[in-house]
Amino acid sequence: MNSENYDSEMHSGPLLGRILIFALPIMAMNVLQLLFNAADMVVVGRFSGSQALAAVGATGPLINLIVNLFMGLSVGASVIVAQDYGAEKPDNISRSVHTSIAISAVSGVVVMAAGLVLCKPLLGIMGTPKDIIDLSVLYTKVYFLGLPASMIYNFGAAILRATGDSRRPMYFLTITGIVNVILNVFFVVGLHMGVLGVAWATVIAQYLSTLLIMLCLSRSDGPLRFSFNLLRIDRHKLKDIVRIGLPAGLQGLLFSISNVLIQSAVNSFGSIMVAANAAAGNVEGFVGTAMNAYYNAAITFTGQSMGAKKYDQIDAIAKVCTILIFATWIVLGGGVLLFGRSLLSFYTSNPEVIDLGMLRLKVKMSAYFICAVMNVYPGLTRAMGYSILPMLCTLVGACLMRIVWLATVFKWYPTVVMLYMCYPVTWAFAGLGQVGSFFYARHQVRTRAMEEAGQAQAVS
């Protein structure tokens, strides 16, 4: 595989077209992944019942809680590789690639062990309904067996995206997603394995995706080429990746903690509500995961512009990403509001589940533009080398505010609508902070660039 057919310089040329060319394969990949995840939910919900659907849906916040800390390191890997690529430093790129893969392998084993040990007590603490907790524990334990593979794939995909290659990860996910769906039908419909069948189908697909991404890197030309002989953790690259990635991981962890608390509140309404929340969350995810493509674009474009010292493009990148966020929200968010009931009917025929699911979709889709801004702008800030500020904004604006909301407003008015209102309220607080962080980081970068230019002029 010749990487020249896929890599591109993201810091030159018309931005709107380049961002779309880069983001659309990621968007397609994310939507495909959700379609395959939706297939999991549809198969288990239709052929194993609402309890099985609720059991799988109840595990999402817990899985994200354990995974996100380490997954944030892949953000650090993406930023560092993008900066090295923009600066045209092949030796640095190679060291970043091999350090990233080594980190991913170690992280995957750690996350797997943590998940296997902690899943049952944490699901209990979350108040998972008694009629589904055994199925939830079973699903989670099998799911975590695939985490080492999932971690390596995500780091490998981050490396490819950092060089402008967003297509091959999409191809690999398409292949493994189709395999996952086929295995779902075989295990659940054919062998009647229920929740266990969905879990094993996911694990097998995860290991296949890792095999494909590693073959891709092993056959790439130039500094992206992976070799086991070079696999080691470079101390300096590790420091750079952790500097950017650890705050990103902590942000994901903190965000997941707040979602775990919300899931606990959802669980208090019973398994019907859990099933509705899971189905609506899966539908909503199509909008969120499309927006996530702009987050990846923001990291890659800004990172390469930083490496090439083209700081003047950062404002333009932010403007284009904001315009695309708004357009995507209007089209996809509006579509979910119009066709939400039909979409939910794919997951279940239970009218009570559909009604409760629509409550979540109406509240969240109406304000999803704010959520997207909150999620995309940290990519711009991190790519400029400022990763702690976005974490703090999420901690205060989202996590702490959600805890306050649950302890006050929801406690005073314990209704489903009031529970879901915590999302748009906290998005607004965190979003304002993330935009402010971007402007602060941009000002610092410009000031530093002017100082360096002045020093160079003085020396000459």
For 392-425, the pLDDT digits (tens) are 888 888 888 988 999 999 999 999 899 999 999 9
Q: Residue 41: what pLDDT? A: 67
d(CA 180, CA 203): 9
Residues of the chain with pLDDT under 70: 1-13, 33-41, 44-50, 53, 57-58, 60-62, 65-66, 68-69, 453, 456-460
Alpha helical stretches, state H, 188-270: 195-218, 235-267
**Residue numbers of the domain that contains 288:** 3-459
d(CA 167, CA 456): 40
Q: Residue 346: what pLDDT? A: 82
Q: Residue 360: what pLDDT? A: 92
Helices and strands in the chain, H and E counts: 19, 0
Total structural domains in the chain? 1
The closest alpha carbon to 169, from 11, 376, 20, 30, belongs to 30
Computed over every residue of the chain, the mean pLDDT equals 83
Q: Residue 4: what pLDDT? A: 45
The closest alpha carbon to 111, from 225, 256, 218, belongs to 256
* Segment 239-244 long-range contacts (CB within 8 Å, at least 24 positions apart): 240/76, 240/80, 240/96, 241/73, 241/76, 241/77, 241/80, 241/96, 241/99, 241/100, 241/103, 242/73, 242/76, 243/76, 243/387, 244/75, 244/76, 244/79, 244/80, 244/382, 244/385, 244/387
The closest alpha carbon to 201, from 163, 160, 145, belongs to 145
How many other β-carbons are positioned within 10 Å of the β-carbon of residue 197?
25
The closest alpha carbon to 207, from 231, 179, 242, 226, belongs to 179
